[in-house]
Structure formats: C-alpha cells, structure tokens
C-alpha cells in the first residue's frame, strides 16, 4: 500500500456531528495502526497540554493524531497561539480541529488552507436533502430509496443526518429486494414511535408533566417495547437543554437556538427555552444523573423499566 501523505492540520467545519464524525473516520482509517490518537474538549483543554501532545513523540513509534472537539471555544481562547502553531506545525503529528463555523475571511482559515485541509461538514440544503438520502441509502446501506420515500423522510426528520442514517439502516433490514418506498417509511412502527416519543419530550420541555405522563402511558399501550428506548430519548432531550443554555450564553436568540437544535413546531420553542432556563445547568446535570440512575435500575432488574421512567417523569416535574 502506498504511503499516505498527511497534512499537518485539518479543519472539519460544520454544525452536523454526523458529517464531522464521518469525515474524521475516513481520515483516521488511513493512519497506520501505531498512530496514537489523543482527544481534547475545546472548552476545557489547556494550550500547554495540546502543544505537549503535538510536539512529543508517540509512545509506540508512530505519529500522533490530536483531535480537538468544540474547536470554536479553543480558538476563541488561544487564537494567536494557534495561528502561530499552524504557521509552523509539528512534522510528526496531525492536528484535527472540529469547528461549528470558521469564516473564510479569518486569518486562521487562510493559514490552515495554506498548510492543511479544510473539510466542509455542513448538512445539505432542504432542497438537496432527498438527494442526500438516496445517495446515502445506496452507498452506506445498499438500498434504493424511491424519491417519494426520500422526500417523506426529509419532511419528517429534517437535516438531522445521524437520525436519517439510522432510519435508513432500519429500513434496509426490511426492504424487499433492497427497495424502500414511501409506504414503508410511513408504516415503519419504530419510526412512528420515535416521533411520538419526541412529542412526549416536547410536553416535558413545555412544562406540561401531566400531558407528558399521559403520552408516556399511551405510548406503552401502543408499543410496550417503547420502555427500552425511553432513556435514550430523554437523554437526548436533556442534552438539548444543556446545548440551548450554552448557545444562550453565546448571545443567540430563542429562534436561532431552537432552529439549530430542531425544536419544532415553533410554538414549542418559547416553552422549551423557559423550561431550559428554569432548570439551568445544575438542574440539567441533576436530571441527567437521575436518568442515569433510573436506567441503571432498569438494567439491573430493580423495578420495571416502564415504571422507572414514569417515576423519573414525576420526579422531574417536582424539581
């Protein structure tokens, strides 16, 4: 196999985590087995720690791959030092910066483009989403997705590429002769239940625990297996609460925050933000910890999963 010539710096730019991870996986797959990977959180990483990793040799003789998540925060804290490093990067390490945004008129953008590579990880525009679904179904899952089916998936999920890819994977299992139709998408029970789960968490976000509880019990009657997916969905909702608070600290308004997090319909946005602000970072962390304990109880056989989730909903309403 021919030796791959790596750039010293890569920037993965875009708000879609699925595309970022896809690009990162494509990149790391090219490295030799003895390459050492080190990951940092951009909002907490110290400059000295990152530079020590970049400028030191790997333990087993290969190169180093240093990945910084949330590189926007890292750049805001250490812009001039990062610009200096990019101008004269280490020859034995590869730095991967995962940005949400990186304007092309900034000095750091031009510096990375000069010595490294910038990969766009922006989701496709709304009009191009069905085409992406069709291509992803073909390339990643070996299925043919009808245009009507792709349009329906795009309408129901939007540009959440990770969820779209997950749905395509499920549909591929049951697709007759490898073809997916709009009827199959509309009739997918698991997909319908996931949409109903979002409705339940929307009621929690709007501060309506009684309605959330009613929807939860209705979900269980329609599909008892829902109890085993609830912890995942509730975790996603609480993570959205934390993300919303972080974006608000950056000065974003409610519509921009909820659009980025795909909190729809629009009438749910203000109630969601009121709930998030009321919970605060401390409340969100406490709720996540309580949910983790609830999930652990269920997995350990302490109480039924459905009852444990119901108790979590009630506990959350009382906090």
- For 253-287, what is each residue's pLDDT tens digit? 999 998 888 776 677 788 889 888 988 999 888 99
List every span in the chain annotated with CATH 3.40.50.300.
9-120
Structure tokens at 99: 């940005």
Share of the chain above pLDDT 70, in %: 93
pLDDT of the residue at 141: 93
pLDDT, mean of residues 196-206: 75
- Nearest-CA neighbor of 236 among 177, 304, 170, 284? 284
The pair of structure tokens assigned to 189 is 């029970």
The phi and psi torsions of 188 (rounded to 5 degrees) equal -70, 110
- pTM of this structure: 0.59
Per CATH, the number for 191-318 is 1.20.272.10
Residues 6+ apart with CB under 8 A from 253: none
- Position 2 pLDDT exceeds 90: no
Looking at residues 107-115, what average pLDDT do you find?
Answer: 96
Q: What is the 3-state secondary structure (H, E, C) of the chain?
A: CCCCCCCCEEEEECCCHHHHHHHHHHHHCCCCCCCEEEEEECCCCCHHHHHHHHHCCCCCCCCEEEEEECHHHHHHHCHHHHHHHHHCCCCCEEEEEEECCCCCCCHHHHHHHHHCEEEECCCCCHHHHHHHHHHHHHHHHCCEECHHHHHHHHHHHCCCHHHHHHHHHHHHHHCHHHEECHHHHHHCHHHHHHHHHHHHHHHHHCCCHHHHHHHHHHHHHHCHHHHHCHHHHHHHHHHHHHHHHHHHHCCCCHHHHHHHHCCCCHHHHHHHHHHHHHHHHHHHHHHHHHHHHHHHHHHCCCCCHHHHHHHHHHHHHHC
With beta carbons less than 8 A apart as the criterion, state whether 68 and 75 touch: no
Flag whether pLDDT at 199 surpasses 70.
yes
pLDDT of 1 over the 50 cut: no
Q: pLDDT tens across 49-66, in order?
A: 999 999 887 665 668 899
Q: How confident is residue 145, by pLDDT bands cut at 50, 70 and 90?
A: very high
Mean pLDDT score across all residues of the chain:
87
The predicted pLDDT at position 189 comes to 54
Pick the CATH number of 9-120 from 3.10.620.30, 3.10.310.70, 3.40.50.920, 3.40.50.300: 3.40.50.300
Question: Are the C-beta atoms of residues 170 and 140 closer than 8 Å to each other?
Answer: no
Classify 126-187 by CATH class: mainly alpha
Count Cβ atoms below 10 Å from residue 249 Cβ, excluding itself: 9
Give the integer Cα–Cα distance in Å for 175 and 144.
Answer: 9
Nearest 5 degrees, angle CA 197-CA 199-CA 203?
Answer: 115
Measured CA to CA, the distance from residue 253 to residue 161 in angstroms comes to 24
Per-residue model confidence as pLDDT tens digits over 18-44:
899 989 988 888 887 777 889 999 989
- All CATH 1.10.8.60 domain ranges of the chain, comma separated, are 126-187
Quote the percentage of the chain above a pLDDT of 90. Answer: 43
CA separation for the pair 154, 156 (Å, rounded):
6
């Amino acid at each position: 196999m021919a030796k791959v010539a790596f750039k010293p710096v890569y920037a993965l730019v875009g708000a879609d985590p699925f595309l970022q991870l896809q690009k990162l996986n494509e990149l790391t797959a090219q490295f030799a087995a003895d390459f050492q990977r080190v990951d940092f959180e951009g909002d907490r990483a110290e400059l000295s720690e990152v530079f020590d990793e970049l400028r030191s040799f790997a333990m087993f003789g290969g190169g180093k791959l240093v990945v910084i998540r949330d590189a926007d925060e890292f750049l805001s804290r250490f812009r001039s030092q990062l610009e200096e490093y990019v101008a004269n990067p280490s020859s034995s390490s590869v730095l991967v910066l995962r940005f949400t945004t990186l304007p092309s008129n900034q000095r750091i953008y031009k510096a990375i483009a000069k010595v490294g590579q910038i990969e766009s990880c922006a989701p496709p525009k709304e009009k191009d989403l069905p085409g992406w679904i069709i291509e992803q179904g073909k390339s990643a899952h070996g299925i043919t997705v009808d245009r009507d089916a792709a349009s329906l998936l795009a309408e129901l999920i939007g540009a959440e590429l990770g969820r779209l890819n997950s749905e395509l994977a499920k549909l591929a299992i049951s697709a007759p002769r490898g073809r997916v139709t709009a009827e199959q998408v509309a009739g997918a029970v698991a997909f319908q239940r996931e949409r109903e789960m979002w409705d339940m968490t929307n009621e929690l976000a709007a501060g309506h625990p009684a309605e959330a509880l009613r929807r939860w019990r209705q979900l269980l009657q329609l599909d008892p297996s829902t109890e085993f997916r609830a912890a995942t969905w509730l975790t996603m909702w609480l993570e959205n609460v934390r993300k919303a608070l972080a974006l608000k600290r950056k000065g974003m308004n409610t519509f921009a925050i909820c659009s980025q997090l795909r909190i729809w319909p629009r009438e749910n946005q203000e109630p969601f933000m009121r709930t998030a602000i009321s919970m605060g970072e401390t409340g969100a962390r406490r709720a996540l910890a309580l949910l983790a304990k609830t999930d652990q109880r269920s997995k350990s056989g302490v109480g039924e999963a459905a009852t444990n989730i119901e108790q979590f909903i009630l506990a959350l309403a009382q906090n």
